[in-house]
Amino acid sequence: MDTSELKPNDADAYYNRGLGKADLGDYEEAIADYTKAIALKPDYAEAYYKRGNAKYYLNDHESTIADFTKAIELKPDYAEAYNNRGINKDTLHDYDGAIADYTVVIRLNPDDVDAYCNRGVSKKELQDYKGAIADLTKAIELNPDCGEAYCNRGSTKATLHDYDGAIADFTKAIELKPDCVEAYYNRGLAKATLHQYDGTIADFTKAIELNPYLVKAYNNRGDAKSALHDYDGAIADYSKAIALKPDDAEAYNNRGLARYYLHDYDGAIADYSTAIELRPHEALVYKNRGLARYYLHDYDGAIADYTVVICLNPDDVDAYCNRGVSKKKLQDYKGAIADYSTAIELKPDYAEAYNNRGNAKKKLGDIDGYNADMQKYQKLK
């Protein structure tokens, strides 16, 4: 319908044309029509509400909230406006505000499944896990076929380390919605925590079938394969994750670790180095690269990496001990002893550090020191 066909003072005509444009996904034009309707009829609550919905699809959340707020001022029992304002507040991480809106919806409509479900998710974000489970359980009581509620309750249970309960909820969500990628993926995570790696791989595989671009599923399936010592399979998954997301530092690190276990130390170092380029402050990757360099007899390189680890994390006991081992290989026994001593200061019951320090002292002819450390080592091991 052209503007010329509309009565210039007919607010409803502009409103209805806005509805049609919104249905076609032309949200900017829909907003223009709703704005015209509001100009003609300033108390037009439905026009504010619909304009807010259109703005939501354009990711203009602050303005969306303003429109829903105006709709509520004009129509205080406008449950839909409260609900959608809550959704936008969630998007802006205003979870307390969202909960307040969903609570009004529930007061107005005590059987509103979506409001309980949404409020449960907001409570989870605020780490009110018991409150979240209570709301999601209520949503399920009201609608036993609400797969979303099962899925969200499952993820909340997983956060509380109730992995069996989480798996049960994800399984129910899958029964209700067999193409729910999130449920398969999250169930896979829960199974991995319980070391059910075959089931983990099956779930991540299904998630990938449903969404071949789900990078995190490839990464986590790779982790499960690594746990089963299928390092070649793990490398294939990490490589796919990297192909989909070339800046995925975690995938490079994980692939490096799988290559390390296959004694491909050069390949491991290459992957660790790329991960470090992408994420220069990740201590674990330096530690991994240091270990690979050690096995290639690049002791200076290993020392350099462990030194970075210590700079990033001064309380990393293993980094001191590993650096000490590398220094010992270079016959820097005093430097090795200093590192082992720091490791012992940080962890007085670190048996291997006493053993290593004792051997380094022996190299320097300190037999009394050697005997003292060996006695301590024998007591602790």
Percent over 70 (pLDDT), the chain: 99
Lowest mean pLDDT among 4-18, 122-136, 240-254: 4-18
pLDDT score, position 8: 83
Domain presence at residue 8: yes
Give the model confidence (pLDDT) of 86-101 as tens digits.
999 999 999 999 999 9
Give the Cα separation of 254 and 257 in Å (integer). Answer: 5
What tokens appear for 344 in the block?
Answer: 């012992």
Percent over 90 (pLDDT), the chain: 97
Domain presence at residue 158: no
Supply the angle between the helices 181-193 and 163-176 in degrees, to the nearest 10.
Answer: 160
pLDDT score, position 105: 98
Q: What is the dihedral of CA 82, 84, 90, 92, to 10 degrees?
A: -100
DSSP E strands, the chain: none
pLDDT score, position 270: 98
> Cα 367 to the chain's mean position, in Å?
52
Domain presence at residue 6: yes
Query: Is the predicted pLDDT of residue 5 greater than 80, yes or no?
Result: no
pLDDT score, position 7: 79
pLDDT score, position 1: 43
| HSE, side-chain direction, 13 A CA sphere, residue 313 | 18
The closest of 246, 245, 223 to 234, measured between CA atoms, is: 223
Domain presence at residue 361: no
Q: DSSP per residue over 97-164, as a string?
A: HHHHHHHHHHHH-TT-HHHHHHHHHHHHHTT-HHHHHHHHHHHHHH-TT-HHHHHHHHHHHHHTT-HH
Count of domains in the chain? 1
pLDDT score, position 4: 45
Domain presence at residue 54: yes
Domain presence at residue 236: no
Per-residue confidence band for 160, with pLDDT thresholds at 50, 70 and 90: very high
Q: What is the dihedral of CA 153, 158, 164, 165, to 10 degrees?
A: -20
The domain of 43 spans 1-75
Give the model confidence (pLDDT) of 164-179 as tens digits.
999 999 999 999 999 9
The contacts found for 268-272 with CB under 8 angstroms, 24 or more apart, are 268/292, 269/293, 269/296
Give the model confidence (pLDDT) of 44-60 as tens digits.
999 999 999 999 999 99
Average pLDDT over residues 127-140: 98
pTM greater than 0.85 (yes/no):
yes
Per-residue confidence band for 6, with pLDDT thresholds at 50, 70 and 90: confident
Q: Are 156 and 120 in contact (CB under 8 A)?
A: yes
Euclidean distance between the first and the last CA atom of the chain, given in angstroms as a whole number? 84
Average pLDDT over residues 111-120: 98
CA angle centred on 164, ends 173 and 148, rounded to 5°? 20
Q: Are 188 and 217 in contact (CB under 8 A)?
A: yes
Give the Cα separation of 63 and 147 in Å (integer). Answer: 31
Give the model confidence (pLDDT) of 175-216 as tens digits.
999 999 999 999 999 999 999 999 999 999 999 999 999 999
Q: DSSP per residue over 158-209, as a string?
A: HHTT-HHHHHHHHHHHHHH-TT-HHHHHHHHHHHHHTT-HHHHHHHHHHHHH
Burial of 110 (0-12, 13-18, 19+ CB in 10 A): exposed
Question: The domain spanning residue 36 has which CATH number?
Answer: 1.25.40.10
3 DSSP assignment: G
Alpha-carbon distances, residue 312 vs 57, 287, 309, 334 (angstroms): 42, 11, 5, 23
Give the Cα separation of 347 and 350 in Å (integer). Answer: 6
pLDDT score, position 161: 98
Radius of gyration of the chain measured on its C-alpha atoms: 30
